[in-house]
Structure 1
Amino acid sequence: MIRAIRAEWTKLMSVRSTAVALLAVFSFTVLIGYLSAQGGHGNANDAPRTVDHFSFVHRELSGDGSVTARVAQQKDSAPWAKSGVVIKASTVSGSSYVALMVTPDHGVRMLADAKTEATGEGDTAAPVWLRLTRAGREITGYESADGRAWRKVGTLTARALPARAQAGLFVASHGRMHERLVGPGEIVGGFRPTTGQAVFDHVTLAPAGASAPDDWTLTDVAEAPVTHGPPAEIRTASESPGTLRRAGGTFTVTGSGDLGRIGIAGVGSELHGFDRVKDSLSGAQFGMIAAIALGVLAMTSEYRTGTIRTTFGASPRRARVLAAKAVVLAGTVFPMGLAAAVTTLLLTRPIQRRNGMGPPVNPDPSLSDPTVLRAVVGTAATLALVALLSLGVGVLLRRTAGAVILLFGVFLVVPIVAQVSSVDVNNWVNRATPIAGLAIRHTMHLLGDSTSPWGGFAVLCGYTAVALGAAFWVQGRRDA
């Protein structure tokens, strides 16, 4: 097998079209990705991004002290819905605060003035005990599973807390994106407010201050309406204000809104409607053109020139010949595709930032991120699979023109026609044909995505396996 691989490697590298095709794989992928980044612009980072909107059940806290509560239950109204305790300068939106909260999907978080954050241990969810202890402007947060053994979350400094601050319970639940695909590439929608709910018990405030122990007040901390910029839309309030129901020492609180800023404590988690990695790797669809040509020519060129007889004469075991071709082909296309994907990602990252599509709304992609690494390596693997699929088709048809026309139709013409037809047809093509393999580039799920990254990649693997399997079977049963 090693001799067969060496022979196929020498043969492939001796053909001038091989170098041209590999260069085209790299060039198309990088060039189209570069042009896509140059043409993309956004203004999400230009709008206000600080959010301070929630239901606040509070009493006065004079001087240093603490507020403690157990979040007994929390409604999973949104991944970053927040319920917990807060010490705030006043009930005015934008006044200084430190909050300690639990979320349905992201554990315990501590936040000060939408600027600094601390994270609790593990994926803690309700029920959980929370405590904030004030010492001047420094506030320390603690969490506990049983109210006896406490674990420090962190110590954060508030911007400005008066001697008489407000302390108590809060509930917030950010809006969810609601979108509808009305045509291929045409999306309508907006933000739909959600209402969070939490049940608190074992609520204590020390020292109690001048107010009576039961003198808790519900205030809707609400911002002034903001009418510009996409991120401001997360400020959309609930259609109804927050509510408070008490039964002895148990508080049931509902509320909407959010607390923090984009990139801190999950604010803006529903706003990331631009996949920077997918956009950077958009040129892979054109790099496939060169991969198709290389895969087809790796086999049909020998049929056209008649050298296939010499090949089979030197190595009568045809399955071994085809396997060697597949190994060599994948071994050349994959590293070239990987180099192209990495180059494109690094090249487009500063361009996207410059065009307003960078942090905090759209964080910089990093190869240390497993999701980004999967997209980059997966793109290279997709190009290699397309080349192997083309090799199999080349064996079956034995004609360069016929194989190239067929594959160009599958990978280029059919997707274009599907895009201008119905949504259902477009989704089916992107989910059930070999083009589904390009879903491996996605690093977030957006409306219009027809399949998951690994699901689409599996579809392409299936088509490639069928094509190569048929090629092995046919080649072993016919004349050269």
Structure 2
Amino acid sequence: MTTTPTRTVPPYRSALHPARAGFGRLLRAEWTKFWTVRAWLLVLAIGAVVTVVVCQLGASGSSVSGGPPIVLGPGGEVVNDSFRFTHRALTGDGTVTARVTGLKDASGKGLGPWAKAGIIVKSSLKPGSPYAAVMATPGHGVRMQWNFTHDKAGPSSDPAEAPQWLRLQRLGGKLTGYASVDGRKWTRLGAVRLDGLPRTVQVGLFLAAPVNEVVHRSFGGTSEVAGSGQATGTFDHLTLRGSSTDSGWSATDVGAPDPDAPLGNSLPGASTVSPTGTYTLTGQGDIAPDENSPDMVQMSFQGVFVGLIFMVALGTLFVTTEYKRGLIRTTFTATPSRTKVLAAKATVIGLITFSTGLLSTAIGFTVAQKTLRSNGFKPPEFPDLSLLENPASRAVVGSAVLLSLVAVLALSLGVVLRSSAGTIATVVVLVILPQILSFALPLPVAQWLLRATPAAAFAIQQGLTYYPQVQHNCLPESGCYPLTPYHGLAVLAAYAAAAFLLAVWTLRRRDA
């Protein structure tokens, strides 16, 4: 019997370098695969259009009018600048020294942690003018602050318990702050330079007491507890070394609103001096950035919240469709390295959603800003925001990154779950549901959700700067997030990376 020899066909070997050209070939294949499926292109286009439209609709539903006069600081930011001031003119260089002997609530409602009693060198009595101050606070010890947005910590000392000596020295445009517990040994707090400081400035004692509002939210509703907005500070050993044209100390309520105006609810301050040289100041107000204005940047990105759903669907369908039709076996047969296939898919879907998101958010932000301007959000309270400058550029690019990371997250979970409906539902629960629940849950729980879930990434759209030297309630419904913009985006990136690694592990252990 004659046997026919069996011919062995050698397996196909690609001539491309497996590490370089091989991955490039995969990228081209996945890119081509995406652009040849019309349904995916339609989802991408609808998502981009919906993002722009909802940005516009959200802006058209917001308006502002009236309000108290706006005070701008040296940097053009909106500030609060109202306090009780016992002052004298200082011409040229000089030093002002005083001891804070007490700081207490003047109304019996509780003293806020950022009530301030100290000494100040101010360019003029005009609200918003440059200044440097050294102060004692009940909740944050001794501080040196200047030009509203700058703050530096000093010794931790409560003026209600122990006297604190304070000193400010002026040499030209340079202001140096000092603190002491005994008036002999001084600790240098810092030195700052105030640009444009005139030769004659106002120096002396000041007292400010912002209203201490604390918001509590539980399942039964929201309550607000307002502490005192008025405090009394006592000082002694007030001395001024330098040339002054004033014969004595004067008292002024800087920035006090007109009590006859419709919004005027300011209580007049008081200043007294005893025969022994003890000065008592009673007043209210604050010297700090104003954080109560609406966030015009965040208000321009409401469409991202809706457009995100389309990117979730796109990232999911990009892989689950192949599982549903069995085409994933063909892909893995042609390219046995499943990790490379997944990396190519993630790269392609990430680049496509980022590019589309960047275009749609840039257009959405531009049209929303135009609408907000027409609805009363105008300078100087709401300055013009350039698309190419922070915080607008950070929010636009960050929102595009957010959309792409969510698409990669959906792609990776699609590999794990192999179900379109299950994957979309899971990603929506992870990213969107925490944002919605944060509006109703108790604040500690809501803030935990916005720290620990991918919803933290929406912090990248914040346009307002929240300064640590300002007491504020970080409410999700006001657009405030407990994490900084980049830290919030990093949380989503960590989830996407973890999901990708889980998908790699699943591919290696499970049949296609």
Q: TM-score normalized by structure 1?
A: 0.72
Q: Aligned in 2, Cα 1:373/1:246: closer, same or farther, shift over 3 Å?
A: farther
User: Secondary structure of 1:70's partner?
Assistant: strand
* Partner of residue 489, structure 2: 457
Cα distance, 1:465 vs. partner?
A: 2.0
CA apart distance, 1:338: 1.8
After TM superposition, list the pairs within 5 Å mapping 1:306-345 onto structure 2.
306-345=326-365
Q: For 1:20-35, list aligned pairs within 5 A.
A: 20-35=42-57
Q: Are residues 1:55 and 2:123 paired?
A: no
- The alpha-carbon deviation at position 294 of structure 1 amounts to 0.7
Between the aligned partners of 1:466 and 1:37, the Cα distance in structure 2 is 35
Q: Which moved more, 1:450-459 or 1:1-10?
A: 450-459
Q: Does 1:354 align with 2:354?
A: no
Q: Which residue number in structure 1 is paired with residue 162 of structure 2?
A: none
> Retained in 2: the 8 A contact 1:77–1:194?
no
Name the amino acid aligned to 1:384. S
The answer to whether the 8 A contact 2:52-2:361 is kept is: yes
Q: Distance in 2 between matches of 1:349 and 1:7?
A: 40
Residue 472 (structure 1) aligned with residue 498 (structure 2): no
Which structure 2 residues correspond to residues 242-261 of structure 1 after superposition, within 5 A? Answer: 242=271, 254=281, 256-257=283-284
**Partner AA of 1:57 in structure 2:** T
Structure 2 residue 444 is matched with structure 1 residue 447: no
- CA-CA distance at 1:38 after TM superposition: 0.7
Distance in 1 (CA, whole Å) between partners of 2:128 and 2:500 is 63
Question: Equivalent of 1:301, from 318, 321, 335?
Answer: 321
Cα separation, partners in 2 of 1:167 and 1:341, compared to 1, 3 Å: closer
Cα gap change, 1:468 to 1:257, in 2 (>3 Å): same
**Residue pair 1:180, 1:189 contacting (<8 A) in 2 also:** yes
SS at match of 1:175: coil
* TM-superposition CA deviations, 1:12-51 (whole Å, max 9, x none): 12111232222233222222221111101223x5433468
For residues 409 and 96 of structure 1, the distance between their equivalents in structure 2, rounded to whole angstroms, comes to: 48
Q: CA deviation at 1:124?
A: 11
Kindly indicate whether the alpha-carbon contact (under 8 Å) linking 2:82 and 2:253 is maintained by their aligned counterparts in 1. Answer: yes
Identity score, percent = 29
User: Residues 224-243 of structure 1: matches in 2 within 5 Å?
Assistant: 224-225=258-259, 228-229=262-263, 235=266, 241-242=270-271
| 1:285/1:106 CA distance change after superposition, 3 Å | farther
TM-score, normalised by the number of residues in structure 2? 0.68
Q: 2:35 matched to 1:9?
A: no
Residue 130 of structure 1: aligned partner: 170
Q: Is 2:422 the counterpart of 1:402?
A: yes
**For residues 393 and 217 of structure 1, do their structure 2 counterparts lie closer, same or farther at Cα, with a shift above 3 Å needed?**
closer
Q: What is the CA–CA distance in structure 2 between the aligned matches of 1:383 and 1:330, rounded to whole Å? A: 8
Cα contact 2:253–2:268 (8 A) shared by 1 = no
**What amino acid maps onto 2:460 in structure 1?**
I
Residue 281 of structure 1: aligned partner: 301
Give the corresponding residue for 2:196: 154
1:270 is aligned to 2:290: yes
For 1:401, the aligned partner's letter is: A
Structure 1 residues 83 and 395: alpha-carbon distance in aligned structure 2, compared to 1, 3 A threshold = same
Moved more, 367-376 or 12-21: 367-376
Q: How many residues align?
A: 428
- Whole-Å Cα distance in 2 between the matches of residues 153 and 414 of structure 1? 46
Superposed displacement of residue 319, structure 1: 0.7
**CA RMSD in angstroms, aligned pairs only:** 4.5
The 10-residue stretch of structure 1 (101-110 or 400-409) with the greater mean CA deviation from structure 2: 101-110
Query: What does residue 240 of structure 2 align with?
Result: 203
The structure in which a higher percent of residues are helix is 1
